[in-house]
Amino acid sequence: MGTTPTMDLHTPRWHILKIRGGSEKKMTRDLRAAGFEVMLPVRKTIRLWSDRKKQVEDPLFKGYAFICLGEARRAEVFQVDRKLSYLRLDGKACTLRENEVALLQYLSLGTEEDITVQYGRLGPGTCVEVLEGPFTGQVGLVRGTGTQT
């Protein structure tokens, strides 16, 4: 994630919108209806009720959506809903890099492909790198093993 560099006011960039939690889907529909290109990555989950199960799509990032527009159109978003805001860092609007957009677009497809994690004895604090799949090249630290000891 970077901050908006000095560029043409009409060059579209992907910005991060902060949305009231629970209204991500409705707000995304409203923004699309207003002519904006909006991305809302979702994950499929199973909700259980006492009498049934249902597969639902929940936003992957609660309270956030992604919108592609030029600097000249940024204020138009507030005509859809005045409660929206842009994620900012040091006073500047945050934008996404091309590889981050590609990953979010992949995640937005709602694929049900399983991701298999193979590991030996990885303990907390071990540095890992993803070698295959949608997160190829991502690096991180193991926070826990996922099992109770």
Query: Which of the residue ranges 3-7, 70-74, 92-96 would you say has the lowest mean pLDDT?
Result: 3-7
Q: What is the mean pLDDT of residues 138-147?
A: 69
Q: What is the pTM of this model?
A: 0.66
Element (H, E) at 65: strand 64-69
Query: Which of the residue ranges 43-47, 62-66, 76-80, 114-118 would you say has the lowest mean pLDDT?
Result: 114-118
Check whether 70 has a pLDDT greater than 60.
yes
| Start-end of H helices in 34-111 | 77-80, 98-108
Contact 81, 10 (CB under 8 A): no
Give the number of other CB atoms < 10 A from CB of residue 32: 14
pLDDT band at 114 (very low <50, low <70, confident <90, very high): very low
Cα separation, 108 vs 130, whole angstroms? 20
Q: What is the mean pLDDT of residues 80-100?
A: 90
